[in-house]
Amino acid sequence: MKFWWPIGLIVCCSTAYQVGVKEISSGIHPLAALVLTYLSASFASFLLYFFLAPKGENRRKALLSWNPWALGLGCSIVGIELGVVYMYRAGWTVQTSFILTNSLIVAALMVTGALFYGEKLKLRQLAGAVLTLAGIACIVWQ
């Protein structure tokens, strides 16, 4: 269970995420929606951290520590969110856009893992990626 519960959390929350972004994409200005989104995400994160932080951890020190990667992650998340909102505004369907973007992300991460983290890229993985991208082409180009 310890191994699989994060996958279930990601699937459930990603599904809710796609529905939520699809619904706000035709409403208020995308950046106003992101401000509200991140206010609620910050509040939820703060509450979860307060209740789930390890005993004895200096919460104040942890929250005030400088981590440039956390700031970069925040900027990346805003870019993803804004891109998804505008993707739906442009008329992409939930099914097609999710398959296309996530498959391209997998391809980009395969290259990133090989170039920056020394992860081995096997021929079987490359063949699978090519096969996947061919399948996506069949789905996207109707």
**Distances from the Cα of 29 to the Cαs of 89, 123, 136, in angstroms?**
11, 45, 31
**Residue count (the chain):** 142
Q: What is the pLDDT of residues 12-30, one digit of tens each?
A: 999 999 898 888 877 789 8
- Which of 80, 61, 66 has its CA nearest to residue 14? 80
pLDDT score, position 114: 93
pLDDT score, position 1: 79
pLDDT score, position 84: 92
**Helices 123-140 and 94-116: crossing angle, nearest 10°?**
160
CB 84 within 8 A of CB 21: yes
Would you put residue 119 in left (φ > 0), alpha (ψ -120 to 50) or beta?
beta
For residue 125, what are the contacts with CB-CB under 8 A and spacing of at least 6?
110
Measured distance CA(18)–CA(105) in Å, rounded: 16
**Residues of the chain where predicted confidence (pLDDT) is lower than 70:** 142
pLDDT score, position 138: 87
Measured distance CA(46)–CA(71) in Å, rounded: 16
Which DSSP state fits 1?
Answer: -
Measured distance CA(114)–CA(51) in Å, rounded: 38
